[in-house]
Structure formats: structure tokens, C-alpha cells
Amino acid sequence: VVSGSFEELSAKRAARARWLASKYPAAREALTFYADIASFQQGVDPHQPLAALAALIELVLEKGPPLLREATRDLDEDTCRVAIEDYARERDVTSPRSFFARVLLQPQMHAKAAGHAEPGAQLGRCPRCGHPPQVGCLRALEYGTALTFICSLCLAEFPFLRGRCPACGEAEENKIAYYSAAELEHVQIQACESCRRYFHNVSLAKDPEAIPDVDEVAALPLDVWAHEKGFRKLHANLLGI
């Protein structure tokens, strides 16, 4: 998933998001905005992310949800530089302001991550940038299924043990539960009964066209279900879901 330039990857992500938006009305709004963001990221210079801030603010004011529109009010290059620093160090990865930091930081982190691996990464963390995974990706093997994670920040893909919770390490079979919905067959939730965290697995075996970080946005109804059951997502996506 990390292969190719961020520009190419973003073009593919945008196209996939628009296609899914036409197919899954329940998540249409979220997917359309995600497509706009992915298209926007194609033009972000990884060496000068702040140069794209004005255009990002314009996009959010035009098409973004109220919470993000409001966050643009006290956002300028200085406050955004701090937000980027706070995101990179995981001091703030959830506020509306952190959205802007993440959108601008991703192209840079993707470029840095290519060909770079930090030895001794923590369990369940990206071996390239150290941030937590966004979403799981399932592929069929000759025997069984392989799980990889897509990093929430640099979008690098890295292997992980199937049936284990990346948040707390739980691996007891009866503590890890899976849920899916008939309308969205290729996405499932993996939830941990021990720490009450969950994430989505996107199956490339069931839909080879899927792009995990995009397809998990289509699974909005599964998120609603999980939150109602008292599970908390491992890492919120760009849309804060």
C-alpha cells in the first residue's frame, strides 16, 4: 500500500471514496468529504506542508462539517505549526485542530516512511513512524488469512498477528469478537472484550478493489453499532470517526 507516490495513492483513494459514496448512502457525506481531502492532499508539497494551509482552510469552509469550519477561526501558520508538532508527538490527535495537522502531515510522513524503518517498534505500532494503526487489511493465504495494518499517519502497511488486540495484546480467542453487516460484506469489526477497543478489517480477499483506509469510512454504520455497545475505536479516522 505504501508503494507509489503519495500523489498517486491519493488519486486512487479519492476515486475509491467517490465510487463508495455512490454505493453506500449511509456514509455518502463522509465519503465525499474524504474524497475531497484525498484530492487536496495530491497537491500538498511534502517539504512545505504549511504552504497548503490557506487552501485547506478554504476547502473546509466550503465543504467541511461545522466542527472543522469552526476550528479554522483561530488557525494560522503559527497555530498550525504547533498543531503539527502536537500531532507528530501524539499530544493531540483528536481535536478538530488536529485534523488540519494530520491532513498536512500525512504526505510528509509518507515520503519519510518510504525506505525507513525504526527498529524495535512498540507492539501494534507502525514500525516506520511509531503511530497507531488506522485499519486492518485481510488477504487470503493458501492456508488461512493474513492480517496487516495500515498506519493512521504515514499509511505504511505492516504485518500483525490475526486474533490479537493491538491495543492491549489480548489473544484469548473468547475475548476477541468479530462483527460485520450484510450490506458491507468485505468489512468487519474486530473488538476486544478486555480493553473495549475495536477497529475495522477490510478484506481484499472479498473485494480486491478495496483501499482499507477509504473503505473503513464506508463502514460508518458499524462504528455506530460499536459505539452503542460501548467499544472505543483504536484510532479515529481523518473524519474523527
Query: Shortest distance, CB of residue 59 to Zn ion, whole angstroms?
Result: 24
By C-beta, is 24 or 198 nearer to Zn ion? 198
By C-beta, is 154 or 219 nearer to Zn ion? 154
Q: Which three cell numbers stand for residue 182?
A: 450484510
By C-beta, is 96 or 132 nearer to Zn ion? 132
Q: Are 39 and 20 in contact (CB under 8 A)?
A: no
Q: How far apart are CA 26 and CA 71, in angstroms?
A: 25
By C-beta, is 27 or 214 nearer to Zn ion? 214
Q: How far apart are CA 220 and CA 128, in angstroms?
A: 28
Q: How far apart are CA 113 and CA 129, in angstroms?
A: 7
- CA-nearest of 237, 167, 228 to 198 is 167
By C-beta, is 113 or 202 nearer to Zn ion? 113
Helix, strand, or coil (residue 192): strand
Query: Shortest distance, CB of residue 160 to Zn ion, whole angstroms?
Result: 13
Query: Shortest distance, CB of residue 233 to Zn ion, whole angstroms?
Result: 12
Query: Shortest distance, CB of residue 158 to Zn ion, whole angstroms?
Result: 8
Q: How far apart are CA 52 and CA 71, in angstroms?
A: 16
| φ, ψ for residue 225, nearest 5 deg | -60, -45
Interface with Zn ion (CB under 5 A): 126, 128-129, 131, 151, 153-154, 156, 165, 167-168, 170, 192, 194-195
Query: Shortest distance, CB of residue 196 to Zn ion, whole angstroms?
Result: 7
